[in-house]
């Protein structure tokens, strides 16, 4: 009886200001894959990092043939970095990780076991994170608001850290949009998915490249990519404003008839009402403008990233060589 073929995993690491973490990431990933007994490739995507990441990755690729390095022409963001890696990866499944070691490589073993059980997507579920109390509450609140507003069922507390089966990767690669929010697209494509709980540690080296404004930008991208709730909000604001205005007119007329001495007079009330309506209109224009900007970015059809160079480019597998099932390692 023939042995099942050895499975191949592709780790894709988005690198930006993560040069000190690269050797440790490589060491931990290699140890994890060797423990699993699988064939593997480790794809580092240098998203034009301003530190010495290029030199570190070039030396690593020269030393280890399992290492693939993709250098971008400029910084395009982590979502484009993951997309770039997925278009090069040749594994039967890919694992997406941030380069700052906040996604522990050792958790891949649990992902792998779930994959062997038949799950197509296995994502890390952040049950706790080592961060300030404010950020912990803010992240929890965002995922719950995002899930409630989205037209696709979204997993709670799930970031990009995940193992994704080859057929899901190919489905994601076929999606034409450039404003990519992978954890949302991952839910949109469907297939059989499950989560593995873990505690997300703090960044190992240096300072985080995220900020409150960047996190708000992420939230904006997520909401406008997978929700029509802001447009529904405009309709409800319009109906509420009309209702309040109509009620105020009736109350003003009744007050003038029955309480002429106490009825509101002058410009104060009128000014407040004008400011209130102006604020509602500005909010509505901002929401519509965000959707228009999103559409404008898409119709330009610019590529999501530009590759400057690739080291140790893997030979692409013939699709017929891949087993359709998950199989055993």
- Give residue-wise pLDDT tens across range 59-110: 888 888 898 999 998 888 888 889 989 989 888 899 999 888 888 889 899 9
Q: For 202-229, how does the pLDDT look when each residue is reduced to its tens digit (9 = 90+)?
A: 766 656 666 566 667 666 677 767 777 7
| Residue 320 pLDDT | 44
Q: In this model, does residue 324 exceed pLDDT 60? A: no
Share of the chain above pLDDT 70, in %: 76
Q: In this model, does residue 113 exceed pLDDT 80? A: yes
- Mean pLDDT to the nearest integer, 265-279: 68
Chain-centre distance for alpha carbon 4: 34
Q: For 135-189, how does the pLDDT look when each residue is reduced to its tens digit (9 = 90+)?
A: 667 777 777 777 777 777 777 777 788 899 999 999 998 888 877 888 888 888 8
- CA 271, CA 142: separation in Å to the nearest integer? 35
| Residue 293 pLDDT | 75
The SS3 call for residue 134 is helix
pTM above 0.85, yes or no: no
Q: What is the 3-state secondary structure (H, E, C) of 46-92?
A: ECCCCCCHHHHHHHHHHHCCCEEEEEECCCCCHHHHHHHHHHHCCCC
**3-state SS of the chain: helix, strand, coil percent to 5?**
50, 20, 30
Q: Under CATH, domain 8-227+303-319 is a member of which superfamily?
A: Spore Coat Polysaccharide Biosynthesis Protein SpsA; Chain A (3.90.550.10)
């Amino acid at each position: 009886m023939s042995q099942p073929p050895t499975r191949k995993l592709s780790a894709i690491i988005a690198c930006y200001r993560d040069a000190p973490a690269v050797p440790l990431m490589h060491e931990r990933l290699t140890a994890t894959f060797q423990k699993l007994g699988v064939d593997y490739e480790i794809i580092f995507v240098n998203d034009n990092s301003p530190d010495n990441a290029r030199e570190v990755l070039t030396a690593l690729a020269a030393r280890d043939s399992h290492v693939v390095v993709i250098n971008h022409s400029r910084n395009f963001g982590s979502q484009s970095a993951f997309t770039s890696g997925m278009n090069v990866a040749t594994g039967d499944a890919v694992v997406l990780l941030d380069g700052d070691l906040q996604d522990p490589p050792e958790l891949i073993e649990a992902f792998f076991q779930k994959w062997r059980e038949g799950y197509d997507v296995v994502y890390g579920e952040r049950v706790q994170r080592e961060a300030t109390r404010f950020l912990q509450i803010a992240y929890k609140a965002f995922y719950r608001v995002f899930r409630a507003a989205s037209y696709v069922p979204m997993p709670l507390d799930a970031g990009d850290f995940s193992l994704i089966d080859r057929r899901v990767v190919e489905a994601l690669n076929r999606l034409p949009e450039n404003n990519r929010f992978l954890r949302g697209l991952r839910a949109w494509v469907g297939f059989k998915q499950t989560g593995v709980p873990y505690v997300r540690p703090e960044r190992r080296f240096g300072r985080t490249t995220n900020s409150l404004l960047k996190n708000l930008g992420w939230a904006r991208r997520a909401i406008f990519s997978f929700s029509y709730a802001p447009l529904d909000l405009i309709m409800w604001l319009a109906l509420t404003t009309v209702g309040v205005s109509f009620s105020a007119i009736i109350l003003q007329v009744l007050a003038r008839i029955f309480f002429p001495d106490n009825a509101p007079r002058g410009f104060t009330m009128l000014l407040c009402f004008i400011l209130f309506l102006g604020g509602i209109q500005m909010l509505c224009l901002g929401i519509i403008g965000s959707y228009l900007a999103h559409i404008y970015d898409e119709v330009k059809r610019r590529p999501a990233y530009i590759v400057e160079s690739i080291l140790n480019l893997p030979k692409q597998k013939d699709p017929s060589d891949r087993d359709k099932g998950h199989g055993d390692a």
